[in-house]
Amino acid sequence: MFVYILGGFLGSGKTTLLMKLASMYTKRGLKTALLVNESGEIGVDGATLRAEGYDAIELPDGCICCSLSGTLQTALKNIEDDIDPDIIIVEPTGLALPFKVRELVESSGVDAEGIYIIGITDVERFGILISKKEEFIKRQMSGADFVLINKMDIAKPGQVDEIRAWFNKEFPDKEIFVVSAKTGENMESVYGMMK
Amino acid sequence: MSGEKTSFEEANGVATGVTGRIGCWNADSEARLCNAMLTVGKWVVSEAGVLLGHIKAAVTLDDGSGITFNLTDMSNGVEKHGTLPPQDKVNFTFMSAVLDVDEHELHHVMYHAVDDSGLLYEIDEPECHCHDHHHHHDHGECGCGHDHGHEHHHEHEKKIIVNNYYGDYYACCCECCKDDDECCCGHDHGHEHHHHHDHDEECHCHEHEHEHHHDHEHCCKTEHVHTESGTVIVNNYYGDFHRCKCKCCEDDDDDDECCCGHDHGHEHHHHHDHDEECHCHEHEHDHHDHDHDECCGHCHD
């Protein structure tokens, strides 16, 4: 079993990416479980997934990297016992720190062959995010195994280069993919990275 | 986790939302919901300088199918995913996860945005202390312990919620809201609250069985009026007209003196009801215009 953690800020496109990845794995004939965490008591992502025909396990009202850490570990064990999937994709809240989620998955006792973090950021608001919350974004991206610069379909000239330059400076070792999870543009290269 | 900041605290993020149902779902409702989302987005921008986070909504049927809305960038507007034909009733969830705003205020603004949207909606409240009336009054204190320093007049179908002292919307739990016929102040307000008067003192002399629209500094002012025949009558606390029996009313010739010993240096013109019995003197005669500053202390100016 492989576990993928989608790490990115609020609105960066994690849920859209989750659906794309789930579809891709389903087409490959792999059993995939989706675990979605939402920060508020009121969740919308679960409804979004159901509306699109996906069935996900929801963990609302808290953050799985802190207040719901125990809940996450229990949920993972239950998924392993009940579903025994080939793939688990975890979508934490947009304010979670993915490296903490990975630590929790590692200590949950599930038999994972590999745990990977996909960092995702969007071209739309990257500049303003960095100007206001750079330290937080650095911590959020720090654990990523590779990074997606999402929403290339709406990128203005020069935006992608600026983001790439920031990542190259802060995280020179991380591989970067420029994609549009919504349109599917360049998603094949991402699928190539997945187990 | 002790002492360590959560990631939410680290980012100064908050998340809150509401759930409920919307009636008569159609393209117009869709536009109204989008407008409510934009209203919240504008408020976030006004508070935080920029919308960092997302404002989302999902409109679904009982089987889980439906559509979702997402607002992450004010310049792009609300993104809609999926389609849903017109419905008599749909479920909805409306949530925001954003940075650098106060969570309670955000919740408050979200309620207002839905309330002002014109949607036919019904919001799930954790606990409704149900009541079905409108308050349009300011009063300093309510017996429920909340400080209702505001006018509360929100009606969400059958539930009234109030902007209470936390700055949030809650179902009002005071007795007067629970039951129109009984107010926690001890008075029997058998009417819709429509107080438009200022008084610093607590009212302790009468039951209000009517709607009153008067300004007074003290309660229990009655008004003497004259009939065509010249008889002075009083609209008393029973809500009836009675003949005034006070000496000063009896004696037209003596404007300056009343039998009670008080100097009524004024003209009697009280015009409301109260149920406190005046027991300082019997009014047994007609009276004419005269002023006084003070009478027995409870029924007369």
The DSSP code sequence of A104-144 is HHHTTT---SEEEEEEEEETTTHHHHHHHHHHHHHHHHTT-
Look at residue B71 in the predicted model and tell me its pLDDT: 96
Bridge partner list, A31: none
B267: number of Cβ within 10 Å: 15
Q: Which two tokens stand for residue B26?
A: 């159609």
CB distance B70–A11 less than 8 Å?
yes
Distance CA(B215)–CA(B82), nearest Å, equals: 57
Q: How many other C-beta atoms lie within 10 A of the C-beta of residue B92?
A: 25
pLDDT (tens digit per residue) in A144-172? 999 999 999 999 999 999 999 999 999 99
- Give the pLDDT mean for A101-111: 93
Q: Which of residues 212-241 of B touch A (CB under 8 A)?
A: none
Domain B7-123 belongs to what architecture?
Answer: 2-Layer Sandwich (3.30)
Instruction: Provide the chain B residues 156-175 that lie in CB contact (below 8 A) with chain A.
Output: none
- Measured between CA atoms, how close is A139 to chain B, in angstroms? 10
Tell me whether residues A95 and B70 touch, CB distance under 8 A.
Answer: no
Q: Hey, is the C-beta of B19 within 8 angstroms of any chain A C-beta?
A: yes
For position B235, what pLDDT does the model report? 41
> pLDDT class for B216, splitting at 50, 70, 90?
very low
Residues of B in contact with A136 (CB under 8 A): 7, 10-11
H/E stretch holding B68: strand B66-71
Question: What percent of chain B has pLDDT above 70?
Answer: 40
Decide: helix, strand or coil at residue B208. Answer: coil
- Chain A: give the shortest CA distance to residue B146, in Å: 25
Closest C-alpha among A1, A67, A6 to residue A36 = A6
Angle (deg, nearest 10), helices A98-106 and A69-82? 50
HEC string for A17-36: HHHHHHHHHHHCCCCEEEEE
Mutate to test the interface with B, among A55, A95, A182 (most CBs of B within 10 A): A95
- State mean pLDDT over B41-67: 94
Instruction: Read off the pTM.
Output: 0.65
pLDDT of residue B3: 67
Q: Best mutation site among B4, B14, B19, B56 for testing chain A: the one with the most A CBs within 10 Å? A: B56
Q: Are A109 and A80 in contact (CB under 8 A)?
A: no
Question: Strand B66-71's sheet: what is its strand order?
Answer: B79-81, B66-71, B53-60, B87-99, B13-25, B120-123
CB-based contacts of A31: which residues, under 8 Å, 6+ apart?
A83, A84, A85, A86, A87
Q: A41, B16: Cβ pair inside 8 Å?
A: yes
How far is A14 from chain B, CA to nearest CA, in Å? Answer: 12
- Stretch A134-138: mean pLDDT, rounded? 96
Reply yes or no on whether the pLDDT at B21 is more than 70.
yes
Domain extents in chain A: 2-193
- Evaluate if residue B269 carries a pLDDT over 50: no
Q: What is the pLDDT of residues B93-139, one digit of tens each?
A: 999 999 999 999 999 999 999 999 999 999 886 543 333 333 333 34
- Are A154 and B67 a contacting pair at CB < 8 A? no
pLDDT at B276: 42
Contacts of A10 in chain B (CB under 8 A): 13, 52-54, 72, 97-98
Distance from CA of A175 to the nearest CA of B (A): 25
DSSP 8-state assignment for residue A148 = E
> Which of B19, B65, B97 minimises the CB distance to A39?
B97
CB contact under 8 A, A95 and B17: no
CB pairs under 8 A between A and B: 117
Q: Where is B21: in which H helix or E strand?
A: strand B13-25
Q: State the pLDDT at residue A143.
A: 94
Report the DSSP beta bridge partners of residue B94: B18, B57
Contact (CB, 8 A) for A93 and A37: yes
Got the DSSP string for B137-195? Answer: ---S--TTS----S---EEETTEEEEE-TTSSEEE---HHHH-TT--TTS----S----
Chain B residues with beta carbon closer than 8 angstroms to that of A45? 56
**Closest partner residue to A51 among B66, B70, B76, by Cβ?**
B66
What chain A residue is nearest to B66 in terms of C-alpha separation?
A: A51
| Residue among B50, B82, B93 minimizing CB distance to A128 | B50
Q: Is the pLDDT assigned to residue B264 strictly greater than 50?
A: no
Q: Which residues pair with B11 in a beta bridge?
A: none
B218, pLDDT greater than 70: no
pLDDT band at residue A52 using 50, 70 and 90 as cut-offs: confident
pLDDT tens digits, one per residue of B3-14: 678 889 999 999
Cβ–Cβ contact B65 with A under 8 A? yes
Task: Find, in chain B, the residue whose alpha carbon is nearest to that of A154.
Answer: B76
Sequence-distant (6+) residues with CB within 8 A of B261 are none
Selected for mutation to probe chain A from B7, B68, B125 (highest A CB count within 10 Å) is B7
Q: Angle B27-48/B103-115 helices, nearest 10 degrees? A: 150
Q: Which of A72-81, B139-148, B220-229 has the highest mean pLDDT?
A: A72-81
Residue in A with minimal Cα distance to B55: A11
Report residue A182 as tokens.
Answer: 């919504």
Burial B9-42 (b: 16+ CB within 10 A, else e): ebbbbbbbbbbbbbeebeeebbebbbbbbbbbbe
Residue B193 has pLDDT above 50, yes or no: no
Name the percent of chain B lying above pLDDT 90.
Answer: 34
Q: What's the rounded Cα separation, in Å, for the pair B298 and B278?
A: 7
Instruction: Give the pair of three-digit tokens for residue B69.
Output: 């809305």
pLDDT per residue as tens digits for the range B139-192: 444 444 444 444 344 444 333 333 333 333 334 334 444 444 443 334 444 333
ipTM for this model? 0.89
Determine how many CB atoms are found less than 10 A away from the CB of residue B196. Answer: 12
Asked if the model's pLDDT at residue B198 lies above 80, the reply is: no
CATH architecture of A2-193: 3-Layer(aba) Sandwich (3.40)
Q: Where are the domains of chain B?
A: 7-123, 129-195, 218-301
What does the alpha-carbon distance between residue B125 and residue B170 come to, in Å, rounded to a whole number?
Answer: 8
Q: Which residue of A has its CA nearest to B75?
A: A124
Q: How close A60 comes to chain B (CA, Å)? A: 11
Contacts of B124 (CB under 8 A, 6+ apart): B18, B19, B20
Q: Both tokens of residue B75?
A: 């310049």
For residue A25, give Cα distances in angstroms to A30, A170, A195, B35: 5, 32, 10, 37
Kindly give, in sequence order, each residue whose CB lies less than 8 Å from that of residue A141, ignoring residues fewer than 6 positions away: A7, A119, A121, A147, A167, A170, A171, A174
- Chain B CB contacts of A93 under 8 Å are 15, 97
